[in-house]
Amino acid sequence: MAVASITNPPAMKIVTYNVNGLRQRVSQHGSLRSLLNSLDADIICFQETKLSRQDLSVDLTMAEGYEGFVSCTRTSTKGRSGYSGVATFCRVNSVFSSDEVALPLDAEEGFTGLLEQSGNGRTIMRDVLLDMPMVVEGEEVTKEELLKVDSEGRCLITDHGHFVIFNLYGPRAVDDDNERLRFKLIFFMMLQKRWEFLLSQGKRIIVLGDLNIAPAAIDRCDAEPGFERNKFRKWLRSLLKESGGPFFDVFRGKHPNRTEAYTCFSARIGAEEFNYGSRIDHILVAGSCLHPADDSDDHNFFGCHVEECDIMAQFKRGNLDNTSKWKGGRATKLEGSDHIPVYAILTDVPNLHVHNTPSLAVRYIPEVRGWQPTIVSFLTKREDFSITKYPGMSESVATINAVECGVTGLNVGATSRQHGYGPGFIGDETEKNLPKLKTEEVNSHAHCSPTVKKKARHNTRSQLTLRSFFQQSNSIASHRGCADTNTSSSSPGLLDAGMNKDNSSQTTEVVDRYPTGNAEDGACEVSESGIDTLVENQSDISGNLSFEKEKANIAALEWQRIQQKMKMSIPLCKGHKEPCVARCVKKEGPNIGRRFYVCARATGPASNPEANCGYFEWASVKYKRKER
């Protein structure tokens, strides 16, 4: 008897990526599926998607072969609406009855469950957080503050059986913004309480995403003395194994001494030019390994299951040979996020028991499910109508003609079959029950032309030639109120202009084409005096156009003169003797609105003479702040 071979489970790749706008990244790659495939991972965690619930649509959240989970900002605070947001996409073969580890057993949005968007998320523990009093800097955290933290769409939790993933977008806070500093403290305290409980239950934890914290000086390009004394950096380092904490910094664990390994760059100062950034995108892991072992020191999740971790430098913006000098801007706009993805590869992770997609999945979100209209919406308050097709007429033209004729309903069966819905679709049943349009109603529309006509625009920018006033029209005379005119009684001028003069019995129509004509006047002849008037009007219009063109040329020359004067007034930086770039103070304070000049080059290390020289000069004019 043949013995079945035992093979190890395939390796699993996990990626974290701050996309700086999911819509922009999807547009850059052509589709969501192309974006996901470019990362080539089993679990892909996005941050800063910048999507609100109203922005969710099929093209941004659903891709063949992937199951998606999203958390959107719900706050209406100025500057925060549609700002953050996270999303997790899992590459799976089946979303029902699957044993794949990538497909989560459960999913939850936020830390507290107050959003009430998760399924049976109580298995991941959320009630415990609400029952435990939390004090930040001497003040107890209120339920409203907890809800506010969850409402910015910064946390998405997925339980994959063998481990729980926290997909996070950590808040940013400057030193003088006390409100956001408290917000950030509450955010990370809630996070810590969640994983402490899970670890006490024997769970394995993977915390990943843009935490907006560079742990140590080696992770920052311009780290100054005292850089590591920041309370958030101290807190993050206290969680790591070397400080007695439960977590491994996966990248630093695999590359402990690598310098200039950054994941985020300031786009405003062209920091990619000289690799001048910081490492704030992380993958942290904690917990025991999946192997049966008693010695937890020698066997842990990082040591036994994390094979590799690195920064995906190929996603760095400006990886072109022609971008050697930034100088305040480039000829072409750089595509991509200001962050670089980070990946980790896990090994020896066995399959799970058979399970289905959690209810938090994108496929079950009403905003996404209702995005694509059903055939029923096309039948509301409409009548069934079989469109008369002329020989050689396409379906699209026939449909447009039906609308022009005043028909508000389409043949349901034909429409459903045209779009490939097939038998059994709701349209087949509806077709049998809808009342048929009366024959005389159908015939009343039979005069409609099988061609699509656009109404001509008559203005000074779209002038008609004189010949166009005498060309034969395909329109039926009764539509314009004109009587049929026999060519035998037409004037010689009309015949010379191209009217049919071979068949004297053929009736034609002269359509009123005067720019100011009235179709109800019934005037179907053009007199000699009318032609002279048209010629004179056309000459006047040509003169006006020449005058307008001359004015435009004068304006362009004046603008060039102003630009040249502005260029001459811009100072040169001291380091490179090159023209500076003008900036404006946007931060609240006494100098808001004031202009200044700085070196135009990209910011880089001070030791690099090609980088920004640090030149700064206030503009001579201080702009007054606009009253709102």
Of 318, 211, 322, the closest CA to residue 274 belongs to 318
Give the separation between CA 124 and CA 197, rounded to whole angstroms: 10
485 class by beta-carbon count within 10 Å (0-12 exposed, 13-18 middle, 19+ buried): middle
Contact 80, 73 (CB under 8 A): yes
Q: Is residue 223 classed as helix, strand or coil in its secondary structure?
A: coil
Q: 128 near 194, Cβ under 8 Å?
A: no
Nearest CA to 624 out of 594, 589, 580, 581 is that of 594
Dihedral sign from CA coordinates of 479, 482, 487, 493 = negative
Write down the catalytic residue from 42, 150, 159, 210: 210
Cβ proximity of 507 and 485 under 8 Å: yes
210 annotated as belonging to a binding site for a ligand: yes
Known catalytic membership, residue 623: no
Does the active-site annotation cover 496?
A: no
Asked if 352 and 161 touch (Cβ cutoff 8 Å), the reply is: yes
Burial of 563 from C-beta contacts in 10 A (0-12 / 13-18 / 19+)? exposed
3-class secondary structure, 428: helix
Distance CA 409, CA 413 (A): 12
Task: Report which residue type is found at 418.
Answer: Q
Q: Which of 521, 524, 520, 540 is nearest to 532 (CA)?
A: 540
Question: Cα 46 vs. chain centroid, distance in angstroms?
Answer: 12
Q: Is 224 annotated as a binding residue?
A: no
Backbone angles phi, psi at 34, to 5 degrees: -65, -40
Q: Which two tokens stand for residue 505?
A: 């019995």
Contact 544, 536 (CB under 8 A): no
Query: DSSP characters for 101-140?
Result: SSS-SEEEESSSSTT---SSGGGG--HHHHHS--EETTEE
Indicate if 177 belongs to the active site: no
Bridge partners, residue 52, by sequence: 73
48 carries a ligand binding annotation: yes
Would the annotation count 212 as a binding residue? yes
- Is 338 known as a binding-site position? yes
Question: 311: which strand partners?
Answer: 342
Rounded CA separation 190/154 (Å): 12
Which residue among the candidates 339, 343, 512, 615 is catalytic per the annotation? Answer: 339
In whole angstroms, give the CA distance from residue 109 to residue 114: 9
Q: Which of 66, 106, 159, 169 is catalytic?
A: 169
Sign of the alpha-carbon dihedral angle for 451, 455, 456, 457: negative
353 marked as part of a ligand binding site: no
- The residues carrying an active-site annotation are 169, 210, 339
Annotated binding residues, written as ranges, equal 18, 48, 210, 212, 338-339
Annotated binding residues for Mg(2+), written as ranges, equal 18, 48, 210, 212, 338-339
